[in-house]
């Protein structure tokens, strides 16, 4: 599934074609994606102008002059193609399954803009969705109610980490993936951030707060490296795990900067570390880490769970 940097890449690619433009015609080629389209979906879009295109966690939000917001989620295989009046075709944040690119049977929504641009939503697996929500009720809508803070915002500080994680005994990686605490973090970038911060994925989340609730130095470091990792990934155009390209057709490149993710058996890249990247499974998902520079938390008596093998 696309993670936050990939969705932000899509937003930046779509922005020039959407913002300030008016929908002239919207064609739905099926009644639903993951969910049914809202009632009179095409009719409510046609004639409306896009005032702004934003991102909340892994969602795209297009704010309309009607007082509604178009909420879009890419699911696992959703992608947008943009056909411009000058004949150029762009694929901003192009996520797709190998062999399925460009198959018209998966073009489910076609948005013709008054500028002459056409934006087509293609989704092989149909796990994505679109919805229309009153803009003034967006934060309280079913999509965003209870959602945590944005990891690329100024809200993510050491103090925020300590406040959110205080007294929690859940493993640190699980806490970071909890969208009710910090919204938009995914498996890849959590592994990368924990390695940079020198924190073991199984450390209790509450260990980042002192008894008085103040942030530990590691809490401040983690907040900083989360922003650093995400910012670098956005600048690189995201990560290519299957097939991915952004607006100029080039591939997202952050996977070449992975320090631990999917690098089992390779030397740890941390300066002065002689460890080797290992893998364990947490809540059914692969976790990649270095046992040397991310030391395991102290444990009570009893056998430790063995790390898993190298297969993902």
Measured CA angle at 43 (ends 112, 123), to 5 deg: 55
Nearest CA-CA partner of 1 in 50, 67, 57, 42: 57
Cα 169 from chain centre: 25
- DSSP-based three-state secondary structure for 131: strand
- DSSP-based three-state secondary structure for 312: coil
- DSSP-based three-state secondary structure for 134: strand
Q: What does the DSSP 8-state code read for residue 149?
A: B
- Determine the Cα–Cα distance for residues 129 and 119; give it in Å rounded to an integer: 15
Nearest CA-CA partner of 183 in 156, 222, 217: 156
Catalytic residue numbers, as ranges: 2-3, 58, 285
User: Tokens at residue 137, please?
Assistant: 């009720």
Report residue 305: phi and psi, to 5°.
Answer: -75, 130
Nearest CA-CA partner of 27 in 13, 45, 49: 45
């Amino acid at each position: 599934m696309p993670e936050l940097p990939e969705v932000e890449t899509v937003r930046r690619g779509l922005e020039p074609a959407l913002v300030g433009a008016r929908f002239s015609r919207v064609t739905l080629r099926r009644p639903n994606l993951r969910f049914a389209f809202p009632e009179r979906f095409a009719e409510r879009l046609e004639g409306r102008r896009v005032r702004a295109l934003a991102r909340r966690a892994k969602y795209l939000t297009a704010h309309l002059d009607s007082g509604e917001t178009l909420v879009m989620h890419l699911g696992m295989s959703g992608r947008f193609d943009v056909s411009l009046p000058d004949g150029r075709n762009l694929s901003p944040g192009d996520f797709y399954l190998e062999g399925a690119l460009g198959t018209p049977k998966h073009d489910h929504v076609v948005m013709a803009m008054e500028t002459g641009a056409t934006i087509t939503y293609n989704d092989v697996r149909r796990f994505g969705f679109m919805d229309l929500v009153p803009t003034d009720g967006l934060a309280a809508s079913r999509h965003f109610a209870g959602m945590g803070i944005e990891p690329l915002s100024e809200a993510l500080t050491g103090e925020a980490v300590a406040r959110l994680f205080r007294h929690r005994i859940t493993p640190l990686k699980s806490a970071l993936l909890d969208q009710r605490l910090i919204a938009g973090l995914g498996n890849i970038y959590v592994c990368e951030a924990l390695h940079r911060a020198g924190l073991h994925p199984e450390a209790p989340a509450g260990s980042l707060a002192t008894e008085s609730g103040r942030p530990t130095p590691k809490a401040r470091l983690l907040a900083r490296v989360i922003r650093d990792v995400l910012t670098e990934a956005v600048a690189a155009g995201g990560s290519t795990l299957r097939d991915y390209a952004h607006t100029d057709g080039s591939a997202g490149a952050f996977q070449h900067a992975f320090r631990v993710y999917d690098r089992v058996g390779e030397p740890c890249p941390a300066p002065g570390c002689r460890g080797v990247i290992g893998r364990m499974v947490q809540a059914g998902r692969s976790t990649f880490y270095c046992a040397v520079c991310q030391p395991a938390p102290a444990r009570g008596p009893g056998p430790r769970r063995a790390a898993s093998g190298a297969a993902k």
